[in-house]
Chain A
Amino acid sequence: MLESFKNFLNSVSSPVTIFTSAVLVFALFVTFPRQATSKPAGLAVLLLVLVFFGIGLTDEHFRTIVSTPDNVPIVGLIFLFGYFTWYAMRKAVINDRRIEKGEPTVEQAETNEKVLVFPYLIFIEFVVALAYAVMLVLWSIFLKAPLEEPANPTVSPNPSKAPWYFLGLQEMLVYFDPWIAGVLLPTFIILGLCAIPYLDRDPAGSGYYSFKGRKPVIIVYLFGFWILWILLILTGTFLRGPNWNFFGPFEVWDVHKVVPLVNVNLSELIFIKWLGVGLPKLWFLREAPGILTVLAYLVIPPAILAKTVFKNVFKKLGAVRYSILVMLLLVMVALPIKMYLRWAFNLKYLVAIPEFFFNI
Chain B
Amino acid sequence: MAKPSPSLYSISKTFVWFALVSLLLLGSLIAIVLLDHHRDWKNWQKKFIALKLEKTEKELKAADEKLDKKKIQDLRLEIARTESDLKAHQSERAARRKAAAALEPRLARAKARAQDLKQFQDSYKYFFEEYRVLGDRRAADFEKKLAEIAPRLTEAKADLEDLEKESEAKKAALEAFAQKEKDLQKALDQILQEKTRVEKKIANVKPSLAKDILNAPMLDFLHPSLQIQQIALDGLEDDYHFAKTQKVDRCTTCHLAIDQKGFEDAPQPFRTHPKMDLYLGAASPHPVEKFGCTVCHSGNGHSVSFITASHTPHDEAQAKEWVKKYHWREIEKWDAKMLPIQHVQAACAKCHRSVVEVPQADKLNRGRRLAARYGCFNCHKISGFEDRWKAGPDLRRVGSKVDREWVIRWLQNPRDFRSSTRMPQIFHLSNTQSPDEKNRDDAAIEAIAVYLMKNSETVELSVPPAIGNAEKGETFVKQLGCLGCHSLPGIKGGDAAAELSGLGSKVKPEWLYAWLKNPRHYSPNTRMPNLRLSDEEAADITAYLLSNCNDPFEKSAAPKARPEAVDQMLLDSMQGTMRHADAQKMLAGMTDEEKLEALGKKSIAHQGCFACHAIKGFEDQKPIGAELSNESRKDIHQFDFGFVDIEHSRRAFIAQKLRDPRGYDKGKVKAYYEKLRMPQFHLSDEEIESLTTFVLSLTDESMPLEMQKRPDLREAGVEKGRLLVSKLNCNACHALDGKTGALRALTEDPGAAPPILDGEGAKVREKWLHEFLKNPTPIRPWLTYRMPTFGLSDEETKTLVEYFAYLAHENISYKGAEVPETSPEKIEAGKKLFGQLQCAKCHEVNADSAAMGASFLAPDLTLAKKRLKPEWVKKWIEDPQTLQEGTMMPTFFADGQTPITDVLGGDAKEQIEAIRDYLYRYEAPDKTKGETREAKIPIANQAA
Contact = CB atoms under 8 A, between A and B. Distances in A.
B635 A155 contact: yes
B18 A127 contact: yes
A123 B2 CA distance: 20
Given A120-B4, A120-B9, A127-B17, A147 B241 contact: no
A115 B25 contact: no
A130 B241 contact: no
A21 B693 CA distance: 55
Interface in A139-162: 140-141, 146-155, 158
A113 B240 CA distance: 63
A147 B331 contact: yes
B14 A123 contact: yes
Contact of B24 (A112, A114, A134, A154): A134
Contacts of A344: none
Nearest to B9: A120
Contact of A120 (B11, B21, B240): B11
A131 interface: yes
Contacts of B331: 147
Given A134-B24, A141-B28, A154-B241, A148 B333 contact: yes
A292 interface: no
A152 B241 contact: yes
A149 B25 contact: no
B29 A149 contact: no
Given A110-B5, A141-B35, A153 B29 contact: no
Contact of B335 (A114, A120, A124, A149): A149
Given A115-B4, A138-B28, A141-B28, A147 B334 contact: yes
Contacts of B2: 112-114
A19 B602 CA distance: 53
B32 A150 contact: no
A255 interface: yes
A124 B334 contact: no
A152 B239 CA distance: 10
B35 A130 contact: no
A158 B638 CA distance: 12
Interface in B15-44: 17-18, 21-22, 24-25, 28-29, 31-32, 35
B294 to A, nearest CB: 14
Contact of A137 (B5, B14, B22, B32): B32
Contacts of A207: none
Interface in A151-210: 151-155, 158
B333 A115 contact: no
Contacts of B25: 130, 133-134, 137
B82 interface: no
B308 interface: yes
Interface in B881-929: none
A140 B18 CA distance: 22
Contacts of A138: 28
Interface string A195-235: 00000000000000000000000000000000000000000
A119 interface: yes
B3 interface: yes
Interface in B291-349: 308, 331, 333-335
Interface in B537-553: none
Contacts of B28: 134, 137-138, 141
B637 interface: yes
A49 B637 CA distance: 36
B242 interface: yes
Interface residues of A, number: 31
Contacts of A149: 333-335
A140 B36 CA distance: 12
Contacts of A119: 11, 14
B1 interface: yes
A158 B35 contact: no
Contacts of B635: 155
A353 to B, nearest CB: 33
A148 B240 CA distance: 12
Contacts of B35: 141
A171 to B, nearest CB: 24
Contacts of B24: 131, 134
Nearest to B335: A149
Contacts of B3: 113
B11 A151 contact: no
A255 B641 CA distance: 11
A137 B34 CA distance: 13
Given A149-B334, A153-B242, A130 B22 contact: yes
A134 B20 CA distance: 11
Given A110-B5, A120-B9, A130-B18, A146 B241 contact: no
A294 to B, nearest CB: 41
A119 B241 CA distance: 56
Nearest to A113: B2
Interface in B191-242: 240-242
Contact of B21 (A134, A146, A153, A155): A134
A330 B334 CA distance: 48
Nearest to B35: A141
Residue in A131, A149, A153 whose Cβ sees the most chain B Cβ within 10 Å: A149
A131 B333 contact: no
Given A141-B28, A158-B637, A146 B11 contact: no
B910 to A, nearest CB: 73
Contacts of B18: 123, 126-127, 130
A153 B308 contact: no
Nearest to A119: B11
A113 B1 CA distance: 7
Contacts of A140: 32
A136 B11 CA distance: 25
Interface in B237-269: 240-243
Contacts of A147: 308, 331, 333-334
A137 B29 contact: yes
B5 A113 contact: yes
A158 B35 CA distance: 34
Given A115-B9, A127-B17, A151-B241, A141 B31 contact: yes
Contacts of A158: 637
Nearest to B239: A150
B241 A150 contact: yes
A154 B24 CA distance: 46
Contacts of A137: 25, 28-29, 31-32
A97 to B, nearest CB: 20
Nearest to B307: A147
Residue in B4, B28, B32, B242 whose Cβ sees the most chain A Cβ within 10 Å: B28
A53 to B, nearest CB: 24
Contacts of B240: 150-151
Contacts of B11: 119-120, 123
A133 B9 CA distance: 22
Residue in B9, B32, B334, B335 whose Cβ sees the most chain A Cβ within 10 Å: B9
A131 B14 CA distance: 12
B326 to A, nearest CB: 16
A255 B32 CA distance: 39
A222 B14 CA distance: 34
Contacts of B22: 130
Nearest to B308: A147
A133 B27 CA distance: 12
A130 B335 CA distance: 41
A126 B11 CA distance: 13
B244 to A, nearest CB: 11
8 contacts: A120-B4, A120-B9, A123-B18, A127-B21, A131-B24, A134-B25, A141-B28, A147-B331
Interface of A: 110, 112-115, 119-120, 123-124, 126-127, 130-131, 133-134, 137-138, 140-141, 146-155, 158, 255
Given A123-B18, A148-B334, A153-B242, 9 more contacts: A110-B5, A113-B4, A123-B11, A126-B18, A134-B24, A134-B25, A134-B28, A148-B333, A153-B241
Sorted nearest first, the 5 A-B pairs with minimum C-beta distance are A150-B240, A137-B28, A152-B241, A115-B4, A130-B21
